[in-house]
């Protein structure tokens, strides 16, 4: 069964245009209700959101759909995606829903669904929900309609959950930390966690207005955070994305640290304390070869998956791994989390800084990356990857890189772009290969556009 509505991270699109309309949200809720009801108990759904203006449209539409199917709804307001996963399990809910388009601009929005176990729904379940979209059966009689209520202490519950992951023998006293919340879902909880653990906090991106989420802030625009680290003499800078399920870090000099280095840091830290599972670390095809070589040198296996934190989590569960992530900053701490949690991952970095007494520049840089280049090529429509010329350029690139490099060319599951990534020992060759494939993709798109006229 195929999926058309769901991408690699739920449903996503421009707000108030298909598929991100109130009508489709209503249908999705009703279809999910039909597919996921289990037993004769009173069913419960947890719904959270980020700070986008369109959340006010999507939230009530989803609520109405679930209530029509006889399911009660708990509304928690703006909270990080990992908080919704946690609350779904904590409240023994049947389903969790996060309304967010993650790092995308405010014009977009999305719907992410979590099962009762706190994990994102599988491709198969999402396909089943899609198949149910246009059915209207299953509505309950008036006396069985669900009810909606707000959970006022949801933020406090999540704050305590995150703090519990920080070693109890440690404090952040004496550390100055810049935290950029991207005017998103973590704008209240993230600074609070750091402050309560003892840090001096310099907050950025904590004034959401419904339109400014991810604008010149967060993981997609880290310059302001990097400058603030230097200006305030901070020990560490942290940038979260709009729904706070991923992070990037800047050391005390303002130098950016990506998810690969953070994975290496946590893996080595956990290995030294016996916490790292024997199955090794899970990452995607985008992770740098330098990470793979560094882990291998210390006897730690690296398993690769398709791009998307959901696929990382699936592999972790299958292999029995308790650590995985993406270069983009999704870090999954499997002992406590069912999805990426930027704030909890940041606490692992801060714990290493406190324990070693070393600066972030030393703690967070464990290996030298292999030259790597990523380029996103936007296309208007069609299927440029089906072009013979594009396939030829990709094949030529793979042959030139050989076994000493990696090449990945894929269509994004969240926006209309082709993502081209190459890495290898020869930086000039890597750039040339990316340029040639990008040119082929652009030419294929232009050709399709002329053919459609």
CA distance 270 to 258: 19
Given the residues 54, 100, 102, 387, select the one marked as catalytic: 102
Contact 340, 332 (CB under 8 A): yes
Beta-ladder partners of 74: 46, 149
Tokens of 342: 């930027």
> How many CB atoms within 10 Å of residue 56?
11
For residues 281 and 367, the answer to whether their CB atoms sit within 8 Å is no
Q: Is 102 a catalytic residue?
A: yes
For 158, the enclosing helix (H) or strand (E) is helix 154-163
Cα–Cα distance measured from residue 342 to residue 194, given in angstroms and rounded to the nearest whole number:
13
List of residues 6+ apart from 214 with CB closer than 8 A: 103, 104, 105, 106, 182, 183, 184, 220, 221, 241, 242
Task: Give the gyration radius of the chain's Cα atoms.
Answer: 22
* Crossing angle of helices 342-356 and 259-273, rounded to 10°: 60
What CA–CA distance (Å, rounded) separates 184 from 166?
A: 23
Catalytic residues: 102
């Amino acid at each position: 069964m195929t999926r058309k509505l769901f991408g690699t991270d739920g449903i996503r699109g421009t707000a108030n245009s298909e598929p991100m309309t109130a009508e489709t949200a209503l249908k999705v809720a009703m279809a999910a209700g039909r597919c996921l009801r289990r037993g004769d108990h009173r069913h419960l759904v947890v719904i959270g959101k980020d700070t986008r203006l369109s959340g006010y449209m999507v939230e009530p539409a989803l609520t109405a759909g679930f209530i029509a199917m006889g399911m009660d709804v708990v509304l928690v307001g703006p909270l990080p995606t990992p908080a919704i996963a946690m609350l779904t399990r904590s409240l023994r809910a049947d389903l969790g829903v996060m309304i967010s388009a993650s790092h995308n601009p405010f014009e977009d929005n999305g719907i992410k669904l979590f099962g009762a176990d706190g994990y994102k729904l599988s491709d198969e379940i999402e396909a089943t929900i899609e198949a149910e979209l246009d059915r209207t059966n299953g509505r309950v009689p008036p006396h069985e309609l669900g009810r909606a209520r707000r959970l006022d202490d949801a933020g406090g519950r999540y704050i305590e959950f995150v703090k519990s992951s920080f070693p109890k023998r440690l404090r952040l006293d004496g550390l100055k930390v810049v935290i950029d919340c991207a005017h998103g879902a973590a704008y209240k909880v993230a600074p609070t966690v750091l402050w309560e653990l003892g840090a001096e906090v310099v907050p950025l991106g904590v004034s959401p207005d419904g339109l400014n989420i991810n604008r010149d802030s967060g993981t997609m625009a880290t310059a302001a955070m990097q400058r603030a680290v230097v200006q305030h003499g901070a020990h560490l800078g942290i940038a979260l994305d709009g729904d706070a399920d991923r992070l990037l870090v800047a050391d005390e000099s303002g130098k950016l640290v990506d998810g690969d280095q953070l994975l290496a840091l946590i893996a080595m830290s956990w290995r030294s304390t016996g916490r790292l599972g024997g199955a090794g670390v899970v990452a995607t095809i985008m992770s740098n070869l330098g990470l793979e070589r560094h882990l291998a040198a210390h006897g730690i296996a690296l398993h690769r998956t398709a791009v998307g934190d959901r696929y990382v989590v699936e592999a972790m569960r299958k292999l029995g791994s308790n650590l995985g992530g993406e270069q983009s900053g999704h870090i999954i701490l499997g002992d406590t989390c069912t999805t990426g949690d930027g704030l909890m991952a940041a606490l692992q970095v801060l714990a290493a800084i406190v324990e070693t007494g070393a600066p972030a520049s030393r703690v967070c840089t464990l290996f030298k990356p292999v030259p790597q280049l990523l380029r996103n090529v936007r296309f208007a429509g069609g299927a440029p990857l089906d072009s013979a010329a594009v396939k030829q350029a990709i094949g030529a690139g793979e042959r030139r890189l050989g076994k000493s490099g990696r090449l990945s060319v894929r269509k994004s599951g969240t926006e209309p772009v082709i993502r081209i990534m190459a890495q290898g020992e020869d930086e000039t060759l890597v750039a040339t290969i990316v340029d040639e494939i990008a040119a082929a993709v652009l030419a294929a798109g232009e050709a399709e556009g002329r053919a459609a006229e």
